[in-house]
Structure 1
Amino acid sequence: MKILKNARKIILIIFVSVLVLNTFVYADYNPSREEIEKMIDEVALKRGIPSVILKSIARVESVYQHFNKDGSPKISGTSIGLMQINNKNGGYDTNKLKYDIMYNIEAGADVLLSKWSMSSYQSVACVGNMDPNVLENWYFALWAYNGWAQSNNPHMLSSYAKKYTYQQLIYDIAKKEYGQTINNIDFSYLPSTGKPSRSLVVPTPVYTNSGNIALYEKGDYVRIDGVRDVYQLRDVPSGKYIYDVAVNTLAVVDEGPVLQNGYYWYKVIVNDDKSGWIERNWLTRTGDTEHGRYVFEDIAYHWARKLIMDLYHEGIVSESANFYPENLITKEEFLILVSKSLDKFDEFNQKNNVAEGEKVIGTEEIIGNEGPTIFKNGELPFTDAQDINPWATEYIQHLANYGLLNNYEHELKPLGTITRKEAACIIDGIFTDNNEYKDLDIHSIFKDLTSLSDNEVKAIKTAYINGAISGKGSGSFSPDDYLTRAEAAAIMIKILGKYSTVQR
């Protein structure tokens, strides 16, 4: 837990800096819809709320407008800002609700979760087992977000001259603007007038849709997080309060998740000596016991987070504020990563004084028997070699000497993006054919390779059987899709895996 203690001050500084920056940047004017949606996605991810639900609420409540044209906060009656937060009971900082958009979104998430709690603990009606990862289970929580008014009973629309209930408005936005279907509950369970009994449990619809809530694992580093100052640990999931924990307290996940009363619960260890159960919604992942604190702020919830941290610890990538895992990687960046990964083989051979015939991997294994083509410093066989950034030249020379760039006879286009089939062709010489899959017809697995050359098909087969590049969707390799930085990280791990397997 020393890492947690040493990281506490750093995390607090980052948290405060981001909050201040956000308040300053967006003061008095509305960000673009894209920026607003990105902010909502970030909050929803942390809070364990289906993002489409939170975005659709913002769309219905304020049409993504936090400020009026004159720069004043958007206020309707006692409701404030983007998420139209009613703060008449003083649960939130009114000034922040008015001028800090991220805080307003966080408050909206907090309000929605409090309404969800009403439903999950049967203060109002509920749906099925109240698994929050099922979009259809949020029906009554959405109703309650709009004040638990009887006018949102679909049987009473005509009495209130309404065309839609609040819940249906949310569903329609989710479908029309985000392509996400949410199926209605069976309205026959609802009373013909008034509000449902709080003891009413409506079955979850037969056909459901996932909320894609990210769950945690044992050993994850987490931080107590939310708009409140204090949260509680309990003796068992949904049990008795045993400890108060301040926001920004660091912890380690010890058990979970356990679904109980509409929440995913985790047992966490705090300050080395205290432990208890807390809802996943108030925990933000910051790292894990294997990799330590994540040095990139944008990978905590990404599928490639551990792979990226493996590359960091191997020295393949350097620490920075963000990794941008879903950004497309340039060809130059990809080649640098491949070169650095191959350097690990040479380091291993030198470190362990491996004899020539026993090397983990050597030049001969990659370039065959024709011998290397050695290019002088700054000299490369591409007509656009001048476009290569100076710091990348030696890495690209390294791969050219290995013969991994022989497919590029003229232009390299180093600053452009790289396709999945190009990536496969570049790494083809690194991975050997596996005799176990000699007779495998790769066309039987991927149906979209018919327009490719024999060499491209061979390279894709080699990459696939070695686990370096997988398919995208059922029966599709998507050879012309561009490679993301996260996908590139996964490929590098496979290259390093060839080295590390022998090392072990």
Structure 2
Amino acid sequence: MKVFKTQTRKIISLVIIITFALNTIVFANSYNPSRQEIESMIEEVSIKRAIPSVLMKAIARVESTYEHFNENGSPKTTGNCIGLMMINNRNGGYDSQRLKYDIMYNIEAGADVLLNKWSMSSYKNVSSVGDMNPDVLENWYFALWAYNGWAQSNNPNTLPSHVKRYTYQQLVYDICKDEYNQNISNIDFAYLPQSGKPSRSLVVPTPSNINSGGIVLYEVGDFVRTDGIRKSYQLRDVPGGKYIFDLEHNQLGTITEGPILKNGYYWYKMYINDYKQGWIERNWLTRTGDIVNGRYIFDDISFHWARKDIMKLYKEGIISEALKFKPDEYITNELFSIFLSRTLDNEKISQSETQQKDEVDTETSIEKTIELPFLDADMISPWALNYVEDMYNSGLFKNNSGYFKPHDKMTRKEAALILSNILIKDSKYESLDISSIFSDIKELDLTEVEAIKMVYINQIMSGKNSGQFHPNDYLTRAETAAIMVKLFDKLEN
């Protein structure tokens, strides 16, 4: 017996074909980014959400091996769990389509899930560790356990010794150590029951050897906005207290107090206006500027240590506005010449003037009429040519090898050599043996050692860590900005 009429069957068949075609198109445009790109996305979300990024990356590794899509482009799923962070959306807390096709949204959901598990631990709905300072990696033990489900199978005491290492939290720890060189000390398993789940009231001491999660904290005077996967946020009367105001996404405000650690979170008092202010967790605030420098005009410096130096250079007209500053990229010889020339001359650059390499089309037509003695002078970018000439005429760039190498990355010792030509010797430091301060410069020649001594005693450059200068490391754009601010301030005084 025919169930459908012929015309109906044709329509159903057409719908199936169209649906299949649409799905094929969607899948065809879906691919897994490289591991490096995935890690960068996870780090971006982790920094905003005040979660140790190494934990988020290790969770992604355990859950999906850093893959969001299958080979055919379809979203990776296991049961009710979806995508890179394997988000269980059985209760419909998230947008399923976005979980499937928007990797950044999936990572945000993963951060939200982990923070919910953290709250379970910090508010004693499951066991907790120490004072629940989120910047201590060891304190996340039970939150990681709960991410995989608060199940007795993650109790290491329940497992035979040869499989003890395969609890979920131990798998995360192993990834942190093996793939990110980050050790995390285990809690004392003697506090756990021999079987089943530990009680909610259990508080295990933080291990004596602890490791930092690298959480970025804010300062009084920072401009912030509410941000995250959630649709609403709450201000409280005191840290961890009662709700007093509901806030929407992207609510702007200024930090007036904090941070205060309470119930596993860093709290800040957010001022919106005279009638609306209160305390909110750091996790749902994104820094957008500060009271001294105003709104940040680069979208990649909000969490960077050099953000204030970068903004000062902008305010002084030494660098120009752009979408990104790229603070952790290495600086080239010609770009260093631009920074230095503008710092020394303190030129005020209008937005219509020639900008930095990554801010303009380098095909801008500028006549190269300057005769520089470098054999590779024709390789210098048009927008950098005047600045290189300025530095050469000032005697700061020597023609030792015959080449300027404009696109080569500059090392820290090369920067010191250039900067030392600007600075004045101070006789009171003449007897100082700089090799006694930096243990890694003994192989350098005398000129290089003296240059490093000069920038050190003038407080223009210092070591990268205790007792080491790292002379052969490349100089980043952020480090260059910090150097230029110090030099600018010295020249001003």
CA-based RMSD: 2.0
Is 1:434–2:426 an aligned residue pair? yes
Following superposition, the deviation at residue 406 of structure 1 comes to 2.6
| Alignment partner, residue 408 of structure 1 | 400
Any idea what the Cα deviations from partners look like across 1:87-124, whole Å, max 9, x if unmatched? 11111111111110000000000000000000000000
Following superposition, the deviation at residue 377 of structure 1 comes to 4.7
* 2:268–2:282 Cα contact (<8 Å) kept: yes
* 1:151–1:160 Cα contact (<8 Å) kept: no
- Which runs of structure 2 are paired with 1:38-57 in the superposition (5 Å)? 38-57=40-59
TM-score by length of 1: 0.86
Match of 1:31, SS state, is coil
Match of 1:425, SS state, is helix
* 1:420–1:482 Cα contact (<8 Å) kept: yes
- Which runs of structure 2 are paired with 1:450-465 in the superposition (5 Å)? 450-465=442-457
| Alignment partner, residue 103 of structure 1 | 105
Q: Whole-Å Cα distance in 2 between the matches of residues 25 and 438 of structure 1? A: 69
The verdict on how the C-alpha distance between 1:268 and 1:127 changes in structure 2, with shifts beyond 3 A counting, is same
Choose the corresponding residue for 1:116, options 105, 115, 118. Answer: 118
Letter in 2 for 1:139: Y
* 1:97–1:103 Cα contact (<8 Å) kept: yes
- Which runs of structure 2 are paired with 1:95-244 in the superposition (5 Å)? 95-158=97-160, 164-244=166-246
Q: Whole-Å Cα distance in 2 between the matches of residues 494 and 279 of structure 1? A: 34
The verdict on how the C-alpha distance between 1:346 and 1:139 changes in structure 2, with shifts beyond 3 A counting, is closer
Following superposition, the deviation at residue 453 of structure 1 comes to 2.2
| Alignment partner, residue 93 of structure 2 | 91
Identity %: 62
Q: Whole-Å Cα distance in 2 between the matches of residues 114 and 63 of structure 1? A: 23
Match of 1:221, SS state, is strand
Choose the corresponding residue for 1:310, options 309, 312, 315. Answer: 312
Q: Whole-Å Cα distance in 1 between the matches of residues 162 and 198 of structure 2? A: 17
| Alignment partner, residue 389 of structure 1 | 381
Q: Whole-Å Cα distance in 2 between the matches of residues 467 and 157 of structure 1? A: 57
Following superposition, the deviation at residue 168 of structure 1 comes to 0.5
Identify the range of structure 1 (304-313 vs 26-35) with the bigger mean alpha-carbon deviation. Answer: 26-35
| Alignment partner, residue 416 of structure 2 | 424
Q: Whole-Å Cα distance in 2 between the matches of residues 383 and 200 of structure 1? A: 72
Letter in 2 for 1:312: Y
| Alignment partner, residue 6 of structure 1 | none
Q: Aligned residues, how many?
A: 450
| Alignment partner, residue 326 of structure 1 | 328
Identify the range of structure 1 (107-116 vs 408-417) with the bigger mean alpha-carbon deviation. Answer: 408-417
* 1:377–1:394 Cα contact (<8 Å) kept: no
* 2:317–2:346 Cα contact (<8 Å) kept: no
Following superposition, the deviation at residue 272 of structure 1 comes to 5.5
* 2:67–2:84 Cα contact (<8 Å) kept: yes
Q: Whole-Å Cα distance in 2 between the matches of residues 159 and 337 of structure 1? A: 59
| Alignment partner, residue 260 of structure 1 | 262
Q: Whole-Å Cα distance in 2 between the matches of residues 315 and 89 of structure 1? A: 53
The verdict on how the C-alpha distance between 1:161 and 1:418 changes in structure 2, with shifts beyond 3 A counting, is closer
* 2:318–2:346 Cα contact (<8 Å) kept: no
* 2:228–2:249 Cα contact (<8 Å) kept: yes
Q: Whole-Å Cα distance in 1 between the matches of residues 27 and 431 of structure 2? A: 59
Letter in 1 for 2:490: K
Letter in 1 for 2:66: Y
The verdict on how the C-alpha distance between 1:159 and 1:411 changes in structure 2, with shifts beyond 3 A counting, is closer
Following superposition, the deviation at residue 268 of structure 1 comes to 0.5
Any idea what the Cα deviations from partners look like across 1:138-193, whole Å, max 9, x if unmatched? 00000111110011110112499775110100000110011100110000000111
TM-score by length of 2: 0.88
| Alignment partner, residue 380 of structure 1 | 372
Identify the range of structure 1 (427-436 vs 55-64) with the bigger mean alpha-carbon deviation. Answer: 427-436
| Alignment partner, residue 292 of structure 1 | 294
